[in-house]
Amino acid sequence: MDTETAIPDTLLGAVKYFSDIETCMAFVAALRWPNGVECPRCGAGPDATYRLSTRPLWKCRSCKKQFSVKVGSIFEDSPIGLDKWLPALWMLVNCKNGVSSYEIARDLGITQKSAWFMLHRLRLAVHTKSFEKIGGHVEIDETYIGGKARNMHKDKRDRVITGTGSIGKVAVQGLLKRHGKDGHSTVRLSVVSDVRKGTLQATVRANVRKGSKVYTDELLSYDGLESDYVHNVINHAEAYVDGQIHTNGMENFWSLLKRALKGTYVSVEPFHLFRYLDEQAYRFNNRKMSDAKRFLEACASAFGKRLTFTALTGKELPQTC
Ligand SMILES: [Zn+2]
């Protein structure tokens, strides 16, 4: 099955296409086992496995166990069918500003609670942790997300806000690798505990190759990067942008991110913020792909990753998004 040409390129097309459970299974199996179905329990090859004729399962001649295409994937243990999972993933990676659990619930005819859980599992699938450092020209900037300091009464504001004006907010640091001749810029985002020197520079050193050109504003926390990098500092007092010395790419990304968070999600618990960041970075970094390709890439990474309900929530569900 040639998955890329087989799948349609619109949401409506995807919903129709995946409405047939056999098609869903064949699709996922083809992505997961491009060289034939392997046993996820014992690792036996395609020669040892066969499809049961009566149930949506395969069986392994070697370990005698039965298994479904969902085993060991983010879909495992879920009573929700692939006919809902796959269109939900389509929506997640292709709706430009993100999608809420309310929209998914309405469009797929499931409860909001189910949709909320699905979305969080799907965000895990699009979480791309690259171990390769980035290089070239890298813009570095931070922003704050959440919090309502502006709407607080002045007395309270004075009481709770300490120096940085960031109480109740989460600090996020972004690294944007500028594109070369062709290609496009990509971002990496990290939720950081504070914006102190040690914290911010640790992320930079963990993600950016030595000797790269980095661009930051005048924040003192970036002082000292010049020992490992070509450090360009923006002088905001100057009325013009000095050629390459700016973090406009990163600032544009922040405005996209904030628009998405404001428009789509009622509120984001700080605990879950990193998942939304992953989702937004995934769409941004893969923005030149077709919808179908972006969907396929996300689908392929859905295997080998699981997220249980308890691990996800810790306790009960704050179902606000
Ligand atoms: Zn087996």
Question: What is the structure's pLDDT at 106?
Answer: 93
| pLDDT at 308 > cutoff 80 | no
Ligand 1 center–CA 37 separation, angstroms: 11
Question: What is the structure's pLDDT at 282?
Answer: 86
Q: What's phi and psi for 121, nearest 5 deg?
A: -65, -40
pLDDT digits (tens, 9 = 90+) for 153-176: 555 445 444 444 445 678 999 999
Ligand 1 center–CA 202 separation, angstroms: 44
Which residues, at least 6 apart from 5, have a Cβ–Cβ distance to it below 8 Å?
Answer: none
| pLDDT at 88 > cutoff 60 | yes
What average pLDDT does range 98-103 have in this prediction? 86
Could you tell me the pLDDT band of residue 76, with boundaries at 50, 70 and 90?
confident
Ligand 1 center–CA 66 separation, angstroms: 8
Lowest mean pLDDT among 10-19, 102-111, 119-128, 201-210: 119-128
Question: What is the structure's pLDDT at 219?
Answer: 85
pLDDT digits (tens, 9 = 90+) for 196-233: 999 999 999 988 999 999 999 988 899 999 999 999 99
Question: What is the structure's pLDDT at 213?
Answer: 95
Ligand 1 center–CA 47 separation, angstroms: 11
Ligand 1 center–CA 49 separation, angstroms: 8
Question: What is the structure's pLDDT at 151?
Answer: 47
- Across the strands, what pairs with 11? none
Put the strands of the sheet holding 58-60 in their side by side order: 49-51, 58-60, 66-67
Lowest mean pLDDT among 42-56, 252-266, 298-312: 298-312
Give the Cα separation of 160 and 280 in Å (integer).
Answer: 30
Question: What is the structure's pLDDT at 79?
Answer: 86
Could you tell me the pLDDT band of residue 150, with boundaries at 50, 70 and 90?
very low
Ligand 1 center–CA 68 separation, angstroms: 12
Ligand 1 center–CA 298 separation, angstroms: 27
Ligand 1 center–CA 22 separation, angstroms: 22
Q: Collect residues with CB below 5 Å from ion ligand 1.
A: 39, 41-42, 44, 60, 62-63
Question: What is the structure's pLDDT at 311?
Answer: 46
Residue 200, both tokens:
């911010």
What average pLDDT does range 3-23 have in this prediction? 79
Give the Cα separation of 226 and 210 in Å (integer).
Answer: 10
Q: pTM of the prediction?
A: 0.72
> Highest mean pLDDT: which of 61-75, 112-126, 192-206?
192-206
Put the strands of the sheet holding 213-216 in their side by side order: 186-192, 170-177, 137-145, 213-216, 230-233
Could you tell me the pLDDT band of residue 14, with boundaries at 50, 70 and 90?
confident
pLDDT > 70 in the chain, percent: 78
| pLDDT at 294 > cutoff 90 | no
Helices (H), the chain: 3-6, 11-17, 21-32, 82-94, 101-108, 112-125, 154-160, 197-207, 248-264, 273-285, 291-300, 309-313
- Across the strands, what pairs with 45? none
Give the Cα separation of 174 and 232 in Å (integer).
Answer: 16
Give the Cα separation of 17 and 151 in Å (integer).
Answer: 47
pLDDT digits (tens, 9 = 90+) for 182-195: 678 999 998 898 89
Mean pLDDT (the chain, rounded)? 80
pLDDT digits (tens, 9 = 90+) for 240-291: 666 788 899 999 999 988 888 876 665 666 667 777 888 888 889 888 888 8
